[in-house]
Structure formats: structure tokens, C-alpha cells
Amino acid sequence: MKFFIDTANFEEIKEAHSWGILSGVTTNPSLVAKENISFHERLKEIAALVPGSVSAEVISTDAEGMIREGRELAAIAPNITVKLPMTEEGLKACSTFAKEGIKTNVTLVFSANQALLAARAGASYVSPFLGRLDDIGHDGMDLIATISEIFAIHGIDTEIIAASIRHPQHITDAALNGAHIATTPLKVLKQMFKHPLTEKGLEAFLADWNSRSAD
């Protein structure tokens, strides 16, 4: 499984990038709104720092507007992926971008059929939202498992991004269930480092080292 960070905050992206684990970045309109920045300028900065896919979401709701916006976003850098909502109009735009060789991430996926439609429209990535399904009492992980199975049976190479990740166990389970990528807030990436036995073990190693008499 690869890791993307789910944020438009440049400091957070730099921090995760410095660990050498980052394969890409996803943003969405809510994350960008928190930043009070020029979206295009921020995308330029992110795309120059992180060599992998950088998802930038369109705001238009009609295919024509999405295509216009998506082309502008894709022109910012070669590693921009145009993020499109899972709607009829989004799929029309997705198939246009597939013909133009522009990468796409179909977002707000909450069912296997939506994922299948997006894949057949030529999506490079689909983003099922785990946490938001869990929030309404459904099992987001079941959806990841079902999509991976369907894609494997039909030889579909669209990559599955486990999105709306809330905690580290989501990442382990999404990896086990076949998600290719987890897009994760910085907070959850940091939680992944932690294990009490690692901290305790390191403390003991250092205490033993410092207590030795010989040099």
C-alpha cells in the first residue's frame, strides 16, 4: 500500500514528505478552504515538492465546466490528477480526460457500483470514503473489500484510494482488503509511528548504554 497525505497545508505535506513515505497528495474544496491561499499557487508548490499524484478537485457541477477547470488544473504540473465527483457529469468529464491522457480521481464513492462505473469511465483512481460510511453505521471496510474483489475479477487497473481515514486501524484493514493507497491526515500518519513497546524499548536501550562504565 502507498501513502498519500490528505491536506492542502504545505507544512504538513513537507513534514510527511521528509519521512520518505509519501507517494502523493489529495486535496478537496473543504481542505483548501481552511488554508486561505491561492489554490493554483498552492498546487504548484505541492506538485514541485511531491513527485507523485497530486489530486485537485473541480468545483463545477456540469461536465463542460469540469472539463474546462480540469484542463486548467492539469496544466499546472504534469503530476496533477483531476478530482471529479461521482456524478453523471463527473463521469462524462472523466471519460474525456481519459481520452486526453489526463489522470483522474473519482471521489465521493460510497458503493461498489459507483466504483465500477468510474473505472469504466477511465478513472485512474477511485476514492471510497471509509470514515463517512462508518459514521452512518455502515461498514466502510466491506466496501473496500468488495471493490478490490470486483476489480481483481475483471482485471480493472484503476487504483483504489482508501479515503476518509479516521485512525490507524483503518489503514491496516484497508491494506489487507486490497486498497492500493490510503490517503490520510497527518495526525493519523503520525499515530502509525507509535507503539508503547518501541518507546519503552528505546528508553531501556539508552539507559543501559548510559550506565556502562567502559567507553
Let me know the angle formed at the C-alpha of 193 by 191 and 195, rounded to the nearest 5 degrees.
90
Shortest distance in whole angstroms from residue 94 CB to ligand E4P? 15
Which residues, numbered 39-68, are part of the site for ligand E4P (CB under 6 A)? none
- In this structure, are residues 97 and 82 in contact, taking their beta carbons and an 8 Å threshold? yes
Query: Of residues 16, 22, 24, 28, which one binds ligand E4P by CB under 6 A?
Result: 28
Query: Of residues 129, 144, 179, 182, which one binds ligand E4P by CB under 6 A?
Result: 129
Query: Of residues 53, 104, 164, 177, which one binds ligand E4P by CB under 6 A?
Result: 164
Catalytic residues: 83
> Alpha-carbon Rg of the chain, whole angstroms?
19
User: Which range of residues in 39-47, 110-118, 126-134, 140-148 is near ligand E4P by CB under 6 A?
Assistant: 126-134
> How far is C-alpha 105 from the geometric centre of its chain's CA atoms?
9
Any contact of residue 163 with ligand E4P (CB under 6 A)?
Answer: yes
Shortest distance in whole angstroms from residue 165 CB to ligand E4P? 6
> How far is C-alpha 177 from the geometric centre of its chain's CA atoms?
16
Question: Residue 64 or residue 135: which is nearer to ligand E4P going by CB?
Answer: 135
Q: How far apart are CA 75 and CA 79, in angstroms?
A: 9
- In this structure, are residues 104 and 67 in contact, taking their beta carbons and an 8 Å threshold? no
- In this structure, are residues 86 and 118 in contact, taking their beta carbons and an 8 Å threshold? yes
CB atoms within 10 A of CB 190: 14
> What does DSSP assign to residue 107?
E
Question: Residue 70 or residue 213: which is nearer to ligand E4P going by CB?
Answer: 70
Shortest distance in whole angstroms from residue 67 CB to ligand E4P? 20
- The binding site for ligand E4P (CB under 6 A) comprises 6, 26, 28, 107, 127, 129, 131-132, 163-164, 183
